[in-house]
Amino acid sequence: MSTIATSPSWRELLSGRNGTRCLALAGGTALHAINIYMVTTLMPSTVAEIGGMAYYAWNTTLFVIASIVGASAAAPLARRWGSKNAYLSSLMAFALGTVICAMAGDMPTLLAGRTLQGLGGGVLVSLAYVLIREVFEPGLWPRAMGLVSAMWGIATLSGPAIGGVFAQWGHWRDAFWSLLPVAAVLAVIVIRWLPAGTRSDEPFRLPGLRLLLLTLSALTISLASLSHAAMWQVLGVAAGLLLAAPIAWLDRRASLRLLPALAYQPSRLRAIYAVMAALVIGSNAEIFVPYFLQVVHGHGPLAAGYLTAVMAGGWSFGSMISAGRGARFAAWAMRSGPWLMALALVWLGLMLRQTQGFADGIGLALLCMAMAGVGLGIGLAWPHLLSSLLSSVPAEDGALASASISTVQLYAMALGAAMAGLIVNAAGLSDPGGVEGARRAVPWLFGSFALLALAGLPAARRAAAR
């Protein structure tokens, strides 16, 4: 207890052996996060060369689904193989996926590479939090966790820059190749300085059937997006939701659960999860923003990437001004988050559909304000949703509740990406395609996602009630 009270400094965390270990753990998270924002910026240039516009959203859907599986496997892999071997194996999977992406000549090959990237990256991100408890003394845990979390902010700034520069030069494949030297350096650091960790004879266990149902649910909705027949699209969405329905029934009866038991009862905790899912799904309209900015508004890849990053900046800014505020503000933020996001999405949709007036000056400022507003809606509510979540479970479920944050967030991202692909393809993004197809898709995408954000309002009122 005294160790925690002394609160060691940043210098102690970042110097010597601790510093190299930080580099390994934070570096793995940064590699995964930068890859997400980099590829979002690259995708318009990628589909222009290799085709596969109808599968545009699958790039995110498959990546995030694989990340869910990887994140779930991180702790069991570390116990079974030791932390060093688990880290190196996930790094190899990420690197192999990156090579496949760089050499892809068609969309199915690219998607295979993205799936491997997501699997390896999901392990890296989750393993960072697992290993913090293993390699650092307790007094350093809060700072180490803060450092790892900060990598997402760095990725927001650097990811669009890396993707945008390579796309602007017409060499999107080189953006993937540029990740390999970073992975190699991380491997050397891990081999030399990360402890091997203890191995256990405990059987490798995953909630396999539930993860399979999560995967099939998102994939079924994505498959529905490939059909131009309304009947098959509706049936695909219905089938995807039906596949997700048994997950709760199975999980509440399992010894190895995905969510705390209270999540399956009429409770504040269930409402909190519902608001989190609605906000994360709503934010996934971001996937197509770089494409609309380039095709409809004529921005270059670099400018489109950084304009898209404004949305993530709004999330970060909202979290900074909201975190630590009192109970009254927290309740207001949770109730207002869905409203603010929905209004910003409608505003953004109205502007993105226009072909003129938003290239510079006031128009560009208004465009940035709308994108920042989408992120602000989730950023204001997010810290209080997470705090309320952790305070709403019994002490014995604290670790499970913490782990469930990533599970819910990643599944909502996968579901949101699948639904985004379904909506834009049904609206005409790939047929007739081009500027006309994009202009048709814009109002349907942002209008639908605004309604999805508003669907979280009843749960937000329940979550805000004390």
Q: What pLDDT digit, counting tens, does each position of 161-181 carry?
A: 888 889 888 899 999 999 999
461 has pLDDT over 90: yes
Instruction: Verify that 144 and 272 share a domain, yes or no.
Output: no
72 plus 151 within the same structural domain: yes
Per-residue pLDDT, 5: 44
Report yes or no on 264 lying in a domain: yes
Q: For residue 265, with 0-12 CB atoms within 10 Å meaning exposed, 13-18 middle and 19 or more buried, which class applies? A: exposed
pLDDT at 226: 72
CA dihedral of 17, 21, 22, 24, whole degrees rounded to 10:
140
Q: Does 422 lie in the same domain as 301?
A: yes
Residue 185: is its pLDDT beyond 70? yes
Q: Residue 314 corresponds to which tokens in the numbers above? A: 């709004």
* pLDDT cut 70: percent of the chain above it: 92
C-alpha to C-alpha distance for 379 and 283, rounded to whole angstroms? 11
Q: In this structure, are 315 and 184 located in the same domain?
A: no
Question: What gap in Å lies between CA 466 and CA 460, rounded to an integer?
Answer: 12
Range with lowest mean pLDDT among 171-180, 259-268, 271-280: 259-268
pLDDT for position 46: 93
Q: Are residues 270 and 198 in the same domain?
A: no
Cβ atoms of 316 and 149 within 8 Å: the answer is: no
In a domain, 275, yes or no: yes
For 102-134, the pLDDT digits (tens) are 999 999 999 999 999 999 998 888 888 777 777
pLDDT band at 340 (very low <50, low <70, confident <90, very high): very high
- Same domain membership, residue 463 and residue 335: yes
pLDDT confidence of 399, banded at 50, 70, 90? low
Would you say residue 244 lies in a domain? no
Total structural domains in the chain? 2
Same-domain check for residues 330 and 449: yes
Q: Are residues 286 and 192 in the same domain?
A: no
364 within domain boundaries: yes
**How many Cβ atoms from other residues are within 10 Å of residue 227's Cβ?**
17
Q: What is the pLDDT of residue 114?
A: 95
pLDDT tops 90 at residue 206: no
Residue 197 pLDDT > 90: no
8 Å CB contact between 388 and 192: no
Is the residue at 228 inside a domain? no
CATH of the domain at 120: 1.20.1250.20
Percent of the chain exceeding pLDDT 90 equals: 26
Same domain, 318 and 454: yes
Who wins on pLDDT, 145 or 242? 242
Q: Could you tell me if residue 128 is inside a domain? A: yes
CB atoms within 10 A of CB 327: 10
Residues 174 and 262 in one domain: no
Are 118 and 191 found together in one domain?
A: yes
Which domain, by its residues, includes 67? 9-203
Task: Provide the 10 A C-beta neighbour count for residue 199.
Answer: 13
Query: Do residues 94 and 159 share a domain?
Result: yes
Asked whether residue 205 carries a pLDDT value surpassing 50, the answer given is yes
Measure the CA–CA gap between 62 and 218, rounded to whole angstroms: 9
Indicate whether 81 belongs to any domain.
yes
Chain segment 75-93, per-residue pLDDT in tens = 788 878 888 888 999 999 9
Please, are residues 300 and 168 in contact by the beta-carbon 8 Å criterion? yes
What's the whole-model pTM score?
0.76
Average pLDDT over residues 148-155: 72
